Amino acid sequence: MADDRIITALDVHSVEEMKTLVEILGDSISFYKVGMELFYSAGPEAVQYLKYEGKKVFLDLKLHDIPNTVDQSIRALTRLGADLMTLHGTGGRTMMETAAAAVRDEAARLSIPRPRLLAVTILTSMDDAGWQEIGGKYAVAETVAHLAKLAKEAGIDGTVSSPYEAGEIRRLNGEEFLIVTPGIRPVFAAANDQKRFTTPAQALQDGASYLVIGRPITQAAKPREAAEKILKEIQGGY
Ligand SMILES: O=c1ccn([C@@H]2O[C@H](COP(=O)(O)O)[C@@H](O)[C@H]2O)c(=O)[nH]1
């Protein structure tokens, strides 16, 4: 029933709201994202609950700091046992290399499966105009490809990018590299604040490994029906 390639973003601010959604979605969703909103409100309990329920967890806290701070923070987060975690690729090569080594070291020390690390490239809420406004010298697509190459060289397992860049990242970094794409909008959903987005089927066709989908499911009048509609779409049932 569930498809591991769909990660539902639990952007709510209490454990109670999270549990209600997870119960409603039942076996239609097996992979959840805990982001800043939920983690800053509920803390590690959110991750622990999902793991206890047998779900996979993407802990999306987008670390962005000097290498030493990221090293210590990523070690603490590794102990929570998430499957995927994020840091910002714009933190640079040394920061990414330090984080990649810290996750491997901490997971080995605890004899737990190693969480996969993803570098956030350029947020999907940003278009070329917004990127240039903050001083971006090259086009978004070019910068994302550059950051993806750098992330791979630094020992990072994958990227978070928009689906628009997925094909090029796949070409550059190969089949094993994880490409996680938020900015997913089924035809029935509003764009909200997303600027670089496409449909679930198109994103997979373009090379995404995982799709992050929040509001089109969690804010639908009937979340389970919305999730099932998306599953049907990606499994070719339209
Ligand atoms: O570039 C990025 C990085 C992360 N996100 C996160 O994904 C979800 C998307 O939610 P929707 O409701 O489907 O828009 C959200 O948790 C973001 O923090 C992103 O959108 N873009």
ipTM of the complex: 0.99
Place of tokens 């090569």: 93
Each residue of 197-211: pLDDT tens digit? 999 999 999 999 999
pLDDT above 60 (res 238): no
Predicted confidence at residue 1, as pLDDT, reads 79
Which domains occur in the chain, in start order? Answer: 6-234 (3.20.20.70)
Predicted confidence at residue 86, as pLDDT, reads 99
Nearest CA to ligand 1 atom 11: 214
> Cβ < 6 Å from ligand 1: which residues?
9, 11, 33, 35, 120, 123-124, 160, 182-183, 192, 194, 212-216
Average pLDDT over residues 119-124: 98
Across the chain, mean pLDDT equals 97
Q: Using the mean position of ligand 1's atoms as its centre, give its distance from the Cα of residue 6 in Å.
A: 13
Predicted confidence at residue 235, as pLDDT, reads 87
Predicted confidence at residue 84, as pLDDT, reads 98
Each residue of 111-120: pLDDT tens digit? 999 999 999 9
Nearest CA to ligand 1 atom 1: 123
Burial class (CB in 10 A: 0-12, 13-18, 19+), 26: exposed
Q: What type of residue is 95?
A: M
Average pLDDT over residues 179-192: 97
Predicted confidence at residue 6, as pLDDT, reads 98
pLDDT above 80 (res 43): yes
Q: Using the mean position of ligand 1's atoms as its centre, give its distance from the Cα of residue 184 in Å.
A: 9
Q: Encoding tokens for residue 222?
A: 């009937």
Predicted confidence at residue 236, as pLDDT, reads 77
List residues with catalytic annotation.
60, 62, 65
Average pLDDT over residues 85-97: 98
Start-to-end CA span in the chain (Å): 16
Average pLDDT over residues 30-49: 98
**Strand 84-88 and strand 158-160: pairing?**
unpaired
Q: Encoding tokens for residue 179?
A: 């490409």
Q: What is the atom index within ligand 1 of the atom nearest the CA of 9?
A: 16
Average pLDDT over residues 165-176: 98
Predicted confidence at residue 87, as pLDDT, reads 98
**Rounded CA gap, 119 and 99, in Å?**
10
pLDDT above 50 (res 185): yes
**Rounded CA gap, 118 and 115, in Å?**
10
27 secondary structure, DSSP code = G
Residue ranges of the annotated binding site for substrate are 11, 33, 60-69, 124, 185, 194, 214-215
